[in-house]
Chains A and B, each alone.
Chain A
Amino acid sequence: MYAVYILTAILLVLSLLANREKTVRALRIALGRFMKIAPAFIVMLVLVAVALYLLPEQVLLRTLAPENRWVAMGAALGIGSISVMPGFIAFPLCGVLLERGALYMVLSAFSMTLMMVGVVTFPVEKKYLGGRLSLVRNVAGLLVALAVALVTGLVFGELL
């Protein structure tokens, strides 16, 4: 995180030294773009907050542990698509799930959809990409996630 601050500061100082006018213009662009997209971010945050409430970690632990592997797989694809969490929370959670007997392919489905498919980020994505393209991109992401999960299942001997 500090690396990002340091990088931004360095770039900003270099830019200021090189050309003051251009730098002011850059900051104006930054502020303008940020303010225009901010409302979509607020909508997204509301959705994230509600999703996190509806899907706490205990629910994940219960749902993704294997009773029926295909049910777990479907749940993983669904929950991964809906919820949003940073990698430093998601992967330790996957580690816990693994210890409790979750299958690799289920964890693969969960982590891939987490990364590739965003239901709650859709309001922001729609602003940038348009609804149709956002939809197509997310469906493609879901299919890629499914393919990765199936291959993972094959490699780890969970499918056959």
Chain B
Amino acid sequence: MNALRQHMWAIGLGTLFAIFVLVSLAVGFAPGEEIGGHFMSFFIQMLKILPCVFVIIGLFEVWVKTETVERHMGHGSGLRSYVWAFLLAGGTVGGLHVGLPVADALYRKRARLGVVIAFLSFAGISRIPMTLFEASFLGWRFTAVRFAVSLPLVLVTSAAIGRWFERSGYELPDPEGERRAKGDRRDSEQGRHVRQEGRSR
């Protein structure tokens, strides 16, 4: 019930949109048909990629230790943590819709905020396949300038934003609607599992 109320807006919009497209198809309203077509093509694209992304995130959640991520990307891990964010982002596919769930998974494992934000931006600008595309259509000089200017700027702004928000005690919201205890980002999922493991033994 609570979940339903929380998603009321999305459900309402989705329903209205579906009615709009169906009516457009029925009466042959061209703009509506076209918008419906765009929706379906992107919807299918998402369905192709997101299940994999979330499965990998699930595996990451159970196999990778919080301490490992914290040591390499958490507080006190220095500039190296941004190199990790860069390398990780270079290997991602898709856009922000893939980057965000991954960023969230990193944050839950205690990566610090600046690194998480840097990862998101790097996922936009440094994906390898995309860079190859860019260079082949616009030339290597164009790509070189973009990297040379954007990388340091992204690094500095991400670190600054991360520090600014962390200093004011900001915590990322929990898209799953589970409360994280303040100062302890290990989510309730993990707590529950520890308990389950204890019981099964």
Which A positions have Cβ atoms within 8 angstroms of B?
1, 4-5, 7-8, 11-12, 15, 21-23, 25-34, 36-37, 39-46, 48-50, 52-53, 84, 86-88, 91-92, 94-95, 98, 104, 107-108, 111-112, 115-116, 118, 121, 123-125, 127-130, 132-133, 136-137, 140-141, 143-144, 147-148, 151-152, 155-156
Q: Which of B39, B54, B129, B149 contacts A87 (CB 8 A)?
A: B129
Known contacts A87-B130, A91-B138; decide if A52 and B56 are in contact (CB<8 Å). no
Task: Known contacts A11-B59, A45-B43, A91-B133; decide if A112 and B125 are in contact (CB<8 Å).
Answer: yes
Chain B interface residues toward A at CB < 8 A: 7, 9-11, 13-14, 17, 31, 34-36, 38-39, 42-43, 45-46, 48-52, 54-59, 61-63, 93-97, 100-101, 103-104, 117, 120-121, 124-125, 127, 129-130, 133-134, 136-138, 141-142, 145-146, 149-150, 153-154, 157-158, 161, 165, 170, 172-173, 175-177, 189, 193, 200
A31 neighbours in B (Cβ, 8 Å): 54, 58
A53 touches B96 (CB 8 A): no
- Contacts across chains A and B counted by CB atoms under 8 Å: 216
Cα-based distance from A130 to B107 in the complex (angstroms): 13
A137 with B150, Cβ < 8 A, contacts A130-B172, A152-B142 known: no
- A77–B36 alpha-carbon span in the complex (Å): 27
Alpha-carbon distance A39/B7, docked complex (angstroms): 7
Whether the pair B51, A46 counts as a contact (CB closer than 8 A) is no
B175, A128: Cβ atoms under 8 Å?
yes
Is A5 within 8 A of B52, CB to CB?
yes
Rounded to whole angstroms, the CA-CA distance of A42 and B136 in the bound complex is 33
A-B contact pairs, 29 of them (CB 8 A): A1-B48, A8-B52, A8-B55, A11-B56, A15-B63, A25-B193, A33-B54, A33-B101, A39-B14, A42-B14, A46-B17, A46-B39, A50-B35, A91-B134, A98-B138, A116-B124, A124-B96, A125-B96, A128-B100, A128-B173, A129-B100, A130-B172, A137-B117, A144-B150, A144-B154, A148-B146, A151-B149, A155-B141, A155-B145
